[in-house]
């Protein structure tokens, strides 16, 4: 069922308030990124500006991995594009629920499409209870928390967090995994999801072993997504008309 693209202040507030706790869960990850950015020579302003405009932890970490002077612009662009491929799938999943969204509102939806916010809102859209105001409100809070945490990490990089092993001692390396586990739990729809997930996991493990680097994230996601899409397409063709 198509829902209105109208945004109200109460719905924006509701979306913002409910994303505070999921946003706070990304604090350690953001602090870790801020420390890493400082170690690469980025100032507090540059780190915060990157985080607020990009707002994609995985691709920002990938970019830092190859950050150097002079900047390898082509390698940076390609790496970030690959790391963000999943957002094409996430955006496509939202489109059927917002068929009449004006073009000038679409960039705001793209910006607000981050993992935790998207998972919560797409589940509501699938139940016929989605609200664009909640999407935008949640995205705004996530942007503020993520940017603030990376700023805090950058500023703290001169203290105890300057130790490269501090992130491991404080458990910062586990936060990203925990967030994605929560998102996966929200998105799980039953036994029909098991096969695509199994394909994604197998492909990711194989890519990690054969290729290395961060490619296993992209390859696993694409393999699972393509398997699920082909399976659903086949069912529609062979199923009852």
What value does the CA radius of gyration of the chain take, rounded to a whole number of Å? Answer: 19
Q: In angstroms, rounded to a whole number, what is the distance separating the alpha carbons of residues 10 and 26?
A: 25
- Tell me what pLDDT residue 187 has: 59
- Tell me what pLDDT residue 3 has: 47
* Cis before 187? omega within 30: no
- Tell me what pLDDT residue 162 has: 63
Q: For residue 188, report the phi and psi dihedrals to the nearest 5 degrees.
A: -65, 125
Instruction: Please identify every stretch of the chain with a pLDDT value under 70, giving residue numbers as ranges.
Output: 1-5, 159-189, 213-214, 217, 236-241
* Cis before 5? omega within 30: no
- Tell me what pLDDT residue 216 has: 76
Q: In angstroms, rounded to a whole number, what is the distance separating the alpha carbons of residues 139 and 156?
A: 26
Token duo for residue 144? 């503020």
Q: In angstroms, rounded to a whole number, what is the distance separating the alpha carbons of residues 3 and 9?
A: 17
Q: Are 11 and 24 in contact (CB under 8 A)?
A: no
């Amino acid at each position: 069922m198509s829902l209105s693209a109208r945004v109200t202040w109460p719905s924006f507030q509701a979306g913002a308030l409910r994303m505070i706790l999921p946003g706070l869960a990304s604090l350690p990850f953001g602090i870790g990124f801020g420390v890493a950015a400082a170690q690469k020579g980025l100032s507090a302003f540059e780190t915060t500006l990157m985080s607020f405009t990009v707002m994609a932890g995985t691709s920002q970490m990938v970019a830092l991995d190859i950050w150097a002077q002079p900047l390898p612009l082509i390698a940076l662009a390609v790496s970030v594009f690959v790391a963000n491929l999943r957002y094409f799938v996430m955006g496509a999943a939202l489109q059927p629920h917002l068929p009449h969204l004006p073009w000038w509102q679409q960039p705001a939806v793209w910006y607000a499409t981050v993992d935790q916010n998207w998972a919560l809102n797409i589940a509501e859209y699938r139940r016929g209870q989605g609200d664009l105001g909640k999407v935008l409100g949640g995205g705004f809070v996530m942007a503020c928390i993520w940017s603030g945490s990376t700023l805090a990490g950058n500023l703290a990089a001169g203290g105890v967090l300057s130790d490269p092993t501090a992130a491991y001692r404080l458990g910062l390396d586990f936060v990203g995994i925990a967030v994605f586990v929560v998102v996966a739990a929200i998105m799980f729809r039953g036994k029909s999801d098991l096969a695509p997930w199994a394909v994604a996991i197998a492909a990711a493990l194989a890519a990690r072993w054969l290729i290395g680097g961060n490619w296993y994230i992209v390859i696993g996601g694409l393999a699972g997504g393509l398997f699920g899409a082909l399976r659903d397409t086949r069912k529609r063709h062979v199923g009852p008309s």
